[in-house]
Structure 1
Amino acid sequence: PPADAARPLRLLVVEDNADARYLVCETLRALGHEVQPAATGEDALPELARQPFDVLFTDVSLPGMSGVELARLARKQSPALQLLFASGYGDALTRHLEFPAQSLQKPYDIEQLQAALEQIAQRLAPRPA
């Protein structure tokens, strides 16, 4: 693998729009990451309980439970889980959270997504001795 490739991350991708969900999952797989898709927060919670993830990548506005509410519950289950939000409203909804999170403004491009994931991978990387 190229030296500049971030380590593969395990992502739970929550996006209610089927086309957008498919596209982002395919993009993440092409970047070398492992991906589990979910359409709603309600679908995502059992996945979080079933297997460990590095990153919860969720749309902020979902039917039913919001992405922010999902993130709160997910952090209770897995305090080390990294959070990445996608929002058409900028970071206004995610700026004042009580936990660290990154957000991408929709529509975002692959470079922005990759940059956000590289920052997350650096946070997860074990510090060199």
Structure 2
Amino acid sequence: MQTKKILLVEDNRDVRDLLNRMLGRLGYSTTAASSAEEALVHLETQSYPVLLTDVVLPGLSGTELAERVHASSPATKIILTTGQGYLLSNGLPFEFTLVPKPFHLRHIEAALTSPATTLESRAL
């Protein structure tokens, strides 16, 4: 079985570590970044089938990162996490899955295994 790779972007170290452990339990291999800019450096040399990013990041936001990733790799599954869902009230020009904070392992697993949706459709 091939391990699926995930680019994980979260500026809060505790949340990033928690997500790394959760994803490892689910059989995923992660590359973790603490900012969108750091994630872009990883994307220069590696492709990822999944981007899991917080919306609120220092500097470039998670939605701006997601837009860049979608523009260069439209097949990448995009999962956004946030405790401030109102920031996505205008939606995004592509499908994504929203996992509101606080979340549990089952929310992350559902986001990884379900098809992407638009914000208007549903959030996990």
TM-score past 0.5 threshold: yes
Show structure 1 runs of 5+ residues with no match. Answer: 2-6, 122-129
- Going from structure 1 to structure 2, the CA distance change for 1:101 and 1:45 (only over 3 Å counts) comes to same
| Number of aligned positions between the proteins | 116
Q: 1:89 aligns with which of 75, 84, 87?
A: 84
Match of 2:26 among 18, 31, 38: 31
Structure 2 unaligned spans of 5+: 117-124
Equivalent in 39, 44, 56 of residue 44 of structure 1: 39
Name 1:98's counterpart in structure 2: 93
Aligned-pair identity in percent equals 38
The root-mean-square deviation of aligned C-alpha atoms, in Å, is 2.0
Confirm or deny that 1:74 pairs with 2:99. no
Cα-to-partner distance string for 1:6-34 (whole Å, 9 max, x where unaligned): x7421100000011101101110111001
TM-score norm. by structure 1 comes to 0.82
1:58 partnered with 2:57: no
User: Per the alignment, do residues 8 and 90 of structure 1 end up closer, same or farther by CA in structure 2, a change over 3 Å counting?
Assistant: farther
> Quick check: which has more Rg, 1 or 2?
1
CA distance, structure 1, for counterparts of residue 94 and residue 56 of structure 2: 18
What is the TM-score of this pair, normalised by structure 2? Answer: 0.85
Distance 1:112 1:95 in 2: 23
Q: Is the 8 A contact 1:94 1:101 kept in 2?
A: no
